[in-house]
Amino acid sequence: MAAVLPSPLTAPPRPRAGPWRLALRRLLRRKAAMVGLAVVLFFVALALLAPWIAPHDPVATSWGAVRKAPSAAYWFGTDELGRDVLSRVVWGTQASLLAGVVSVGISLLLGVPIGLAAGFLGGWVDGLISRVTDAFLACPFLILAIALAAFLGPSLSNAMIAIGVSATPIFVRLTRGQVLSVKVEDYVEAARAVGNPPWRIALRHVLPNVTAPLIVQSTLAIAAAVIAEASLSFLGLGQQPPAPSWGSMLNTAKNYMDNAPWMAIWPGLSIFLLVLAFNLLGDGLRDALDPRQR
C-alpha cells in the first residue's frame, strides 16, 4: 500500500502516525543502518572537534621523524615529511566529509530543478534535457570528473565541483522519473484543476513526494563522492598538500606501501569505514522509506 499523503479532496487525516514517523521507526529497527549512522556521527564529531583532538599540528614537518612506525609519540606513525599521521587523519575528516556532502549538495542543487523542469514541462524541454542527460550518463563518470577537475585546476573545492557536476545527471534522471510517476496522481490533477500555477504544484505537491528517493540516493551518492575524491586525489587532482585529506594521503602513501604501510592503512581504513557507514545508512533509508517493503 503506497504511503498516501493527505489529499485536498479527502477528509482531514485522522491522528495516526504520519508516514515519516513510520519510516523513522522502521529505520531505527534496522541495526545495520543504525551502526552506519553512529559511525557517520562519529566522523562528524571528529571533524568538528579536530582542533582539540589532534595531538599534533597536521602540517608541522619534522625532518628527524620521517616515516617512523607507529609509536607512543605518534600513534599512527609519521609520513614522508615527518608529519603525524593520526593528526592528519583526524583533520582530513573535514576534507572527506566536505567532499562527500558538498559534491552531493551541488548535484542536488543543479539536478533537482532540472529534473523537475523536465518532468513537469514535458514536450521538447523534456526531450532536450533527457537527451543531454543521457549523453552525460553515457560517458564514464570518472572521465567527466577528471576533465572538469583538470579544467578547474587541482584543489579540493574544484574536485567537489567536478564531482558534483558529473553526478548531476543521476539526480536529474531520478527527479524526472519521480515527477513523471507522481504527475498522474489524483491530488496533482486536482491541484492543477483548481488552477495552481505549475511552479506551485511543483514545489508544494510534487517535491515532497520526490524527497524520499532523493534522500536515499543522496546518502549513497555521498559515499560514492568520498571515493571519487580519493580517486581524483590519486591522480593528483584533489586536495593538494600540505593540507590533509584522506585521498591525497593515499596518493602519497602509495609510493611507500612497502616500507611505510601505516601511511596508507589509516587513511584507507578511514575512507572504508566512512563510506561503508554511508552505504549502510543509505540502504537502511531505502528500506525504511520504500513503501513497498513491509
Partner 1 sequence: MLEYLFKRLATIVPTLVFVSMLIFGLQQLLPGDPAMILAGEDQDPALIAHLRAKLHLDEPLPLRYAYWIGGVLQGDLGESVRTQQPVLDLIVQKLPVTIELALLAMAVALLIGIPTGIIAAVGRDTPWDYGATVFALSGLSMPNFWLGILMILLFSVQLGWLPASGYVSPAEDLRANLAAMVMPAIVLGTGIAAVLMRHTRSAMLQVLSADYVRTARAKGLSERVVVLRHALRNALTPVITLGALELGTLLSGAVLTEQVFTIPGFGKLIIDAVFNRDYAVVQGVVLVTATAYIVLNLLADLAYFAVNPRLRH
Partner 2 sequence: MKTNFRTLLPAIALAFAGAAQAQTLRIGLAEDPDALDPTTARTFVGRIVFAALCDKLVDVDEKLNIVPQLATSWEWSADNKALTMKLRNDVLFHDGEKFDAAAVKFNIERHKTFQGSNRSGELRPVTSVDVVDPLTVRFNLAAPFSPLMAALADRAGMMVSPKAAQAAGAGFAAKPVCAGPYRFVERVAQDRIVFERFPQYWDKGAVNFERITYTPVPDATVRLANLKSGQFDFIERVASSDIAGLKNDSRFKVTRITEIGYQGITINIGKSDKAQANPLGKDARVREAFELSLDREGIVQVVMDGEATIGNQWVAPNNAFYAKGLPPPQRDIAKAKALLQQAGVPNPSFTLMTPTTSDAQKIAQVVQAMAKEAGFDVKIQATEFATSLNLADKGDFEAYVLAWSGRADPDGNIYSFVGCKQPLNYAGICQPEIDEQLNAARTASNVAARQTAYEQVASRVLKDRPIVYLYHRNWLYAYNAKLSGIRSIPDGLLRVQGLKLN
Q: With CA atoms as reference, report the closest residue to 210 among 173, 182, 238, 186.
A: 182
- Sign of the torsion angle spanned by Cα atoms 43, 48, 52, 55: positive
Binding test (CB under 8 A) with partner 2, winner from 102, 106, 108, 237: 237
61 binds, among partner 1, partner 2, none (CB under 5 to 8 A by kind): partner 2
As given in the structure block, the three cell numbers for residue 176 are 524526472
Q: Which of 204, 191, 292, 232 has the alpha carbon at shortest distance from 96?
A: 232
Nearest distance from C-beta of residue 80 to partner 2, angstroms: 7
Pick out residues in 101-120 that bind partner 1 (CB under 8 A).
none
Out of 178, 231, 248, 270, point to the residue binding partner 1 (CB under 8 A). 231
Q: Which stretch binds partner 1 (CB under 8 A): 39-47, 135-143, 182-190, 197-205?
A: 135-143
Query: Least CB distance from residue 242 to partner 1, whole Å?
Result: 21
Residues in contact with partner 2, total (CB under 8 A)?
A: 24
Q: Note whether 141 binds partner 1 by CB under 8 A.
A: yes
CB of 158 to partner 1, least distance (A): 12
Q: Is 260 in the site for partner 2 (CB under 8 A)?
A: yes
CA angle 244-247-249, nearest 5°?
50
Binding region for partner 2 (CB under 8 A): 61, 63, 66-67, 80-82, 150, 153-155, 236-237, 240-242, 252, 254-260
